[in-house]
Amino acid sequence: MFLAGCVASCGALLVLAGLSKIYRGARRIAGSAAIWRALRIPRRLVPRAELAVGGVECLTGAAVCVQLDPVAAGTAMALLGVAFCALLMYVRASRMPGGCGCVGWRRRTETTPGMVTWRAVVRAAALSAAGAADALAAPSGRTATFYAGALTGGVVLTLLSTHGTVRTPRCRRPLWRPAHSSMRALTAHEVFAAMAPAAGPSGSDVKYRRTGCADEFWFPGEDGRTVVFRVSYAAGGVLAVHASVRGKPDAAAVVE
């Protein structure tokens, strides 16, 4: 029954993806330019293609959720998942800008086109696996285990469908291991590159502490002073870095 719940959550995701494509097709909103470019679909025909693919996804997802014909519905979802997975991998390999447009309602502009991520590929593979499981096992029933599986599948698919890093609502810090994520983002930032000679090597001597919504990293300099990088996140998760030179901190924890 747990597997049946996971399959149902994948069917629900397919319905949501289909509805978003139908909405974009009806409103003529560009949302998956990379996919249609890979398929060589003319721009004037993209809205019709969105409506057609969205309709197929809605029908397939609904059939999976209501278990109308588990073998046929599961096979259809598995084939869609395989097709999506292969297409998304091709788009990634070709480095085409434009995002996958699989799930979502917002309009993407030419300045922020987005890119296909591995999350989208994994999500497509999950749909294929769920469809195959539905076609082979044809699970049914609505027990507590079923709802636990549906909840688990829904959470996993939601995380795979998020754009970029999952962040906290107030401070916009990465939800998973925020200090380490901020440290990696800092070392790739141009401000850190400019101050690196003064900061010295980023080894075990680096100290860390959090002040409000900001992360502070204290690097002992070669002349006895300490270079402090204050990292915070603006709207959209844009990294903001401020560097200063101070004395040694009184209380700071080592980044583990």
Q: Which residue has the higher pLDDT, 126 or 1?
A: 126
Confidence of residue 79 (pLDDT cuts 50, 70, 90): very high
Encode 161-191: b = buried (16+ Cβ within 10 Å), e = exposed. Answer: beeeeebeeeebbbeeebbebbbebbeebee
CB atoms within 10 A of CB 246: 11
Range among 63-67, 94-98, 145-149, 252-256 with highest mean pLDDT value: 63-67
Residue 118's pLDDT is 80
Confidence of residue 110 (pLDDT cuts 50, 70, 90): very low
Mean pLDDT, range 238-247, rounded to an integer: 81
Q: How far apart are CA 5 and CA 150, in angstroms?
A: 4
Confidence of residue 58 (pLDDT cuts 50, 70, 90): very high
Residue 166's pLDDT is 61
Least confident span in 55-64, 86-95, 129-138, 167-176: 167-176
Token look-up 């076609």 returns 135
pTM more than 0.95: no
Domain ranges of the chain: 2-161, 178-254
Q: Give yes or no for a contact between 1 and 114, defined as CB atoms under 8 angstroms apart.
A: no
Q: What are phi and psi of 240, to 5 degrees?
A: -120, 125
Q: Which residue has the higher pLDDT, 109 or 62?
A: 62
pLDDT digits (tens, 9 = 90+) for 177-192: 778 888 888 888 888 8
Provide the CB-side half-sphere exposure for 149 (13 A, CA).
20
Confidence of residue 56 (pLDDT cuts 50, 70, 90): very high
